[in-house]
């Protein structure tokens, strides 16, 4: 089960959530729930430590 990279909430419903590669290194996978996307909560790449959104 996936968890949000920003708030660590388990994502049970994929509606509004997103998964993407780190915009800095292209290797780390970022998963964000709909709530954290809406409030623009910070996330950190598990591979390179990049913090977004900018």
- For 10-50, write each residue's pLDDT tens digit: 987 778 899 999 999 999 999 999 999 999 999 999 999 99
Cα–Cα distance measured from residue 13 to residue 34, given in angstroms and rounded to the nearest whole number:
10
pTM of the model: 0.82
pLDDT score of 8:
93
Q: Which two tokens stand for residue 54?
A: 């900018």
53 band by pLDDT with thresholds 50, 70 and 90? confident
Number of domains in the chain: 1
Range of the domain at 47: 1-54
């Amino acid at each position: 089960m996936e968890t949000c990279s920003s708030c660590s909430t388990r994502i049970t419903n994929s509606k509004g959530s997103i998964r993407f590669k780190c915009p800095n290194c292209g290797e780390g996978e970022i998963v964000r729930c709909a709530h954290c996307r809406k409030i623009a909560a910070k996330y950190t790449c598990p591979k390179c430590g990049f913090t977004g959104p900018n």
